[in-house]
Structure 1
Amino acid sequence: MLFQRSWLLVQRSFRIPPRYATLAWVAALFMAINTLVRVGLVAFENDLALWQPARLVPTLLVGVLYDAAALSGALLPFAVLSLVCPAGPIGRRVHAVLASALVAAGLAGLLFVAVCEGVFWNEFVSRFNFIAVDYLIYTREVLGNIRQSYPVGLLLAGIAGAAGPLYALVAVRVWRAAGAEAGRVTARLAASAAVLAATGLWTVAIGDGPREALGDALEGQLASNGYYEFVRALRNNDLDYRTFYRVMSDDRATAVLREARSGDAARAATPSATWKPGHIVLVTLESLGADMVESFGGKAGLTPNLDAMARSSLMFTNVYATGLRTVRGLEALTLSLPPTPGHAVPMRRRNKGLPTLGGALRDQGYEPLYIYGGYAYFDNMRDFFGGNGYTVIDRTAIPSGEIHHETVWGVADEDLFSQALREIDVRAASGTQVFAHVLTTSNHRPFTYPAGRIDITSGSGREGAVMYADWALGEFIREAARRPWFPDALFVIVADHTSNGRGRIDLPPANYRVPLVFYAPGRIAPGRIEATASLVDVPTTLLAQIGGASPEGFFGVDLRDRGRHHTRGFLANYLTVGYLEYGAVVELSPRRGTRVLDAVDGRPLPVTDARVGRLTEHAVASYQTAADLLKRARP
């Protein structure tokens, strides 16, 4: 009753044709459902601090702004329908039928998106972003993963079961509103034009300011909504660094980086090496954060094979992933580049002609292979690696009879490692030196693997997938040890990213830490290097280990020696890029935003802190230079 009275007041005040009450009902449903989604996500976070009025009320109020922005677009089809359906008894009935059907379909769509937001939030602790845009391209993997990971049938049945009764509550009122007087065509034209103008106004005016004013990354994501963020992602997949981010003069950037690298001799001279391996195997483990590996301070008992390897390896205990997706890890491990805003380089049109680890090792006499258990068109892997001189070997090369288990992402890790051994065996027998970059997939939803390998039931959760991935790695090393080429091989074991991006700030360092070991029994002495490092340092350290110089353009340092004198990490989370050093994180964001935060508690550092100016300069110089380098890449 209150809603109807409010609408009548608005309608009379602005002389809106009565049939436009349909739009008011749509607005009420849209705002109510999105508010419920927002409250539901707050509850899902299970953080009592988020319920404090001082935090919850601003989050909900800012949420109204973003919901209104999205609503203006959602109303457009109803405004067009109200405009084109003529007046008169027949026109009113046609409008009533079409508008009622559109409301019913829209309501089901709202509930469907609400469920999708919940699923996406569970994975990324974020509203829809350009990961969601990318996933629309790779429908096979994404839809397949959803089917394997979630009870899709029950979810769809739940949506239908909720949509029906909810629509029944408003069906009669919507029918009456849709069948009301159409008003003059000039009045309809004015009302529909106002909706169109509101859409354009909100699109231009809303921006990121309101949510950023909340001062907390999590609250900002809660205040937004999937509709707004998805459209934003479509418009901001790739950002020109110099246009949107803080910059400095080119001369100053060069001087800052020269100063930072002054102690690093990796580029100036060929490092000394006591041993050049016959073969190099870089194993990139999917989603294996240091929090899951006991030897790196993580949970006990999940990775006994990797822990045993670590004890006889050169361990790097403070290495940080550059992002939260595999493609970011591949970018860092292949190009030794900081994670510039937007897409990772493998996903970009200009992704060739850059110095790569594979290219540097080819110059050292190795054949570079990229071995992946899924289909390499995903994340543009085939184009990127194949276009940069690697031989790409993916799911299509693995015989069906050799597969014990597979998910939509790829074959089980044990089957991938078996294929890797076959590829290395053939080349080693002919005298070819091999560099094999192997990417696993089993530690990923739906967390399934062959039965009987470990004590945890397949599909029961991430800990089982971690334990299986470790079992497969152990079997791989044991099988490799039986090969004649093993004593002359170097194994580099590292993760692409972690499974946890949650934090009070955009870039919580603890959630980016990954394991890294150089394993070559009898060749590389065991030890621990605790310098802060990044995945971009892996290629340079690997090249230095075998006596090779890093190509011009690599940002990494040799962590075995020089890296101890300039220890830092590069981090990224979608559009925020960061620089970690001396216990502080510099966050660079669009509209030239800059924050310097304590790396542990997220507290902003005062401008009087000696670290602020220096670290900010290092961050800006690094990302500006990397972005400029990428502009010179070829498609």
Structure 2
Amino acid sequence: MWNRIFPNRFKLLKAFILIFVSLSFLLRCIFLYKSIYETDNSLFTLISTFAIGLFFDIGTVSFFAIPYIIYLVVIPKKLYGTIFDRVVTHVAFALGLLIFLFSFFAEITFWMEFHRRFNFIAVDYLIYTYEVVKNINESYPIPWLLGAILTVLFILIFITHKAKAFHYTFKNQTTFKEKLLPAALIIGIAFIFAAFVNNEKAEQFENRYNNEIAKTGIYSFFAAFRNNELSYTDFYKTLSEEQVFSILKKDYKSPKVTFVNPKEKSILRTVKNSDSLKLPQRPNIILICVESLSSRFLNSFGSDLNITPTLDSLANESLFFTNIYATGTRTVRGMEAITLSIPPTPGRSIVKRENNGGLFTIGEVFREQGYERNFFYGGDGYFDNMNTYFGGNGFNIVDRGRGFLLDTSIKTKRTNIDDDEVTFENAWGVCDEDIYNKVIKEADKAQLTGTPFFNFIMTTSNHRPYTYPKGKIDIPSGTSREGGIKYTDYAIANFLKQAKTKPWYNNTLFVIMADHCASSAGRWALDVENYHIPALIFNAGIKPEKVHQFCSQIDVFPTIFDLLNWDYTTNLFGKNILDMKPEDERAFIGNYRKLGLLKSDSLMVLSDQHKSDFYKWERTDNSLKEIPENATFLNKTISYYQAADYLYRNKGLKIKK
């Protein structure tokens, strides 16, 4: 029957499909092996995982088969086996296999970094080819990988020739009528997948790893390409807009707070701190946003790695937040949370979206207080749209530009990190020591003007390939994340040592916080412990204290504004952590599709397709147990996320002129 459906003219196409399915099966086995202790390994679940995977493999390969199917149908019998036919067939077969093999190896490296199939991160990386290609070249033995791909390609072509698939494809008498059935079957499968099967259909398990293993990477990639920005109201549970803002205004009600327009769909409000006996303070503020610094790396959180001596020492000299959580899984999410003080909206970060200038960020509060605002990045701030975002929101840019210019409509100062200021550089930019040296130079200049400054510094050394100057620490460069973290810690120590010699040091408040964890992937869609980060505030008169309130990245700067005794107008979602009562404590965690509100040991998760799930978080083993839904908790979760999306899409986050 199989041969009657697929006559001899389709022998090579059958081999092509079989190779793809076999490679996909092998890839699933590798991912299962790599995550064997995280997956649900019951027999029925594993069979279901691989069966769903086969279903998506067939759908995926059908799209690749369509061009060749059309060729097979339209070419007349008299051209079978001609030079033209042989050249087209060999080139198409080799090109298809090359794509499959490249995807095979690329997925392995992506899984090692993110423990996921291709998603919107992979799509984003296509845009920034310079950094990504350089990073891959520094992280992996590219000549060996390319050699392996080509070797496997030639082996597969040789085996296919030995199996006479080419011979039967060229030497046959298949009629036009006989070609219609297989063509219709494959095109029909592709149509069904395009019209009715979305990537989320693969997610049939509670365990996230099983869901990811069941997917097909290429299909996931194109699904992410289509859906990297999601409309909250189209895909998630909603309330009436009036109900949303009524719930939020009750949540922000305080003796210090007055809403500017109480009847509008807005959270714009004034915060009054000046009735107290303290005078407003305006120290310089330096934020060090540390790449991928999970709390589990610090001895202060129970680690025994001994790779963060500086941060562990500072934890005893700071406002040290022990229960703070990142909102997302990427640097742009951390930047969004810190600067916009907003829960994560579905899809791509606001940092990467269009029309993201002129927003009410923490920079606007600093502007009202007379501060100069600067964004420091050791690479090219073109990456991830950072320069456009920060420049469009009033920050001066200091980066390692390579010719990419900001949008000419953005009026901001841009300072380059010159070659003679660089001692070490990799794919992501200069080493942390070099960026800190530049910060000190610019702070020295600002000191002469008498204008207070807010410096946002984004570090890069704790990022694959984990390379840094030799001879600084006892872990060889480029060998491990632990080395990247230890060098990051070393560079902070060196920076503070230099800063202490400067006249501006005593009047400078330092903030150190991670952008996100080293890996957010776990067995759950939102793995709570993998959002736990460190945050410290110290110097300029700050009294050391361990702060145990359950809080979010978005709360750090509203807390600082209150500590400095400022009166200010705010459109920010964050609250003063130090004023939080137990019932006020909460954290926002999410990825590009799942949106969570975490309170103590309760987690509400909103998903697309208008779903919600309520869990009890078991801290001892970082597991989630599904529990009956709480309507009040659900409505508050919806209100935060729906309001964030509404305000962004309706220009409610814009600065009011």
- TM-score for the superposition, normalised by structure 2: 0.91
1:218-617, aligned counterparts within 5 Å? 218-263=209-254, 265=256, 267-271=269-273, 276-396=281-401, 397-520=416-539, 523-549=541-567, 551-562=569-580, 565-600=583-618, 601-607=622-628, 612-617=630-635
Q: Which stretch of structure 1 is more off in the superposition, 552-561 or 488-497?
A: 552-561
Corresponding letter in the other structure for 2:63: G
* Aligned position for 2:76: 86
Secondary structure of the structure 1 residue equivalent to 2:146: helix
Structure 1 contact 264–557 (Cα < 8 Å) conserved: no
Between the aligned partners of 1:425 and 1:530, the Cα distance in structure 2 is 36
Corresponding letter in the other structure for 1:306: L
Q: Once the two structures are aligned, what percentage of the paired residues are identical?
A: 33
Structure 1 contact 372–438 (Cα < 8 Å) conserved: yes
Corresponding letter in the other structure for 1:251: E
- 1:152-183 deviations in whole A, cap 9, x for unaligned? 11111112222222322122422123214363
Secondary structure of the structure 2 residue equivalent to 1:487: coil
- CA deviation after TM superposition for structure 1 residue 17, in Å: 4.8
1:97-246, aligned counterparts within 5 Å? 97-172=87-162, 173-181=164-172, 183-188=174-179, 191-208=182-199, 210-246=201-237
- CA deviation after TM superposition for structure 1 residue 460, in Å: 1.4
- CA deviation after TM superposition for structure 1 residue 41, in Å: 0.7
Between the aligned partners of 1:264 and 1:553, the Cα distance in structure 2 is 17
With over 3 angstroms needed to count, the CA separation of the structure-2 counterparts of 1:49 and 1:192, relative to structure 1, is closer
Between the aligned partners of 1:375 and 1:549, the Cα distance in structure 2 is 36
Corresponding letter in the other structure for 1:238: E
Between the aligned partners of 1:563 and 1:538, the Cα distance in structure 2 is 16
- CA deviation after TM superposition for structure 1 residue 109, in Å: 2.3
Secondary structure of the structure 1 residue equivalent to 2:578: coil
With over 3 angstroms needed to count, the CA separation of the structure-2 counterparts of 1:413 and 1:399, relative to structure 1, is same
Corresponding letter in the other structure for 1:586: M
- TM-score for the superposition, normalised by structure 1: 0.94
| Runs of 5+ unmatched residues, structure 1 | 1-8
Structure 2 contact 604–615 (Cα < 8 Å) conserved: yes
- 1:102-161 deviations in whole A, cap 9, x for unaligned? 223322321211110000011111111111010000000111100001111111111222
Secondary structure of the structure 1 residue equivalent to 2:626: coil
- CA deviation after TM superposition for structure 1 residue 78, in Å: 1.7
Corresponding letter in the other structure for 1:147: N
Structure 1 contact 86–182 (Cα < 8 Å) conserved: no
Between the aligned partners of 1:427 and 1:552, the Cα distance in structure 2 is 26
* Aligned position for 1:4: none
Between the aligned partners of 1:306 and 1:138, the Cα distance in structure 2 is 32
- CA deviation after TM superposition for structure 1 residue 613, in Å: 2.2
Corresponding position: 1:10 with 2:2: yes
With over 3 angstroms needed to count, the CA separation of the structure-2 counterparts of 1:195 and 1:213, relative to structure 1, is same
Between the aligned partners of 1:433 and 1:328, the Cα distance in structure 2 is 27
With over 3 angstroms needed to count, the CA separation of the structure-2 counterparts of 1:48 and 1:566, relative to structure 1, is closer
- CA deviation after TM superposition for structure 1 residue 193, in Å: 4.4
With over 3 angstroms needed to count, the CA separation of the structure-2 counterparts of 1:513 and 1:92, relative to structure 1, is same
Structure 2 contact 524–624 (Cα < 8 Å) conserved: no
Structure 1 contact 501–511 (Cα < 8 Å) conserved: yes
Structure 1 contact 100–174 (Cα < 8 Å) conserved: no
- 1:594-617 deviations in whole A, cap 9, x for unaligned? 11122235444332x6xx322211
State the superposition RMSD in angstroms. Answer: 2.0
Between the aligned partners of 1:49 and 1:238, the Cα distance in structure 2 is 29
Secondary structure of the structure 2 residue equivalent to 1:486: coil
With over 3 angstroms needed to count, the CA separation of the structure-2 counterparts of 1:252 and 1:48, relative to structure 1, is closer
- CA deviation after TM superposition for structure 1 residue 478, in Å: 1.2
Among 601, 604, 619, the alignment partner of 2:637 is 619
Structure 2 contact 554–574 (Cα < 8 Å) conserved: yes
Corresponding letter in the other structure for 2:93: V
With over 3 angstroms needed to count, the CA separation of the structure-2 counterparts of 1:549 and 1:536, relative to structure 1, is farther
Between the aligned partners of 2:610 and 2:173, the Cα distance in structure 1 is 49
